[in-house]
Amino acid sequence: MPKMKTHRGAAKRFRTTGSGKVRFKRAFLRHNLSQKQTSTKRVLRKPGYLSPADAKHVRALLNGE
């Protein structure tokens, strides 16, 4: 049986940390930034972390299982 391939769409959107958490970049920070509050943009710069249940599925996509 051949090796399983990594899900390329998931690989572009998620990254795993050293402790095994799955992080992602937040949306709404691409354009129309002058209309958004500075505090909102500051919060959106921080990485997001998936819940353990969702992280299990994403990890399977990244590891090719």
- Domains (range + CATH), the chain: 8-28+35-63 (4.10.410.60)
Contact 21, 59 (CB under 8 A): no
Kindly report the pTM of this predicted structure. Answer: 0.83
48-49 and 22-24 beta bridge pairing: antiparallel
Nearest-5° angle of CA 40, CA 10, CA 23?
Answer: 45
Rounded mean pLDDT of the chain?
Answer: 95
Q: pLDDT for 24-54, tens place per residue?
A: 999 999 999 999 999 999 999 999 999 999 9
Q: Is the pLDDT of residue 65 over 70?
A: no
Q: Name the percent of the chain lying above pLDDT 70.
A: 98
Residue 7 has a pLDDT of 95
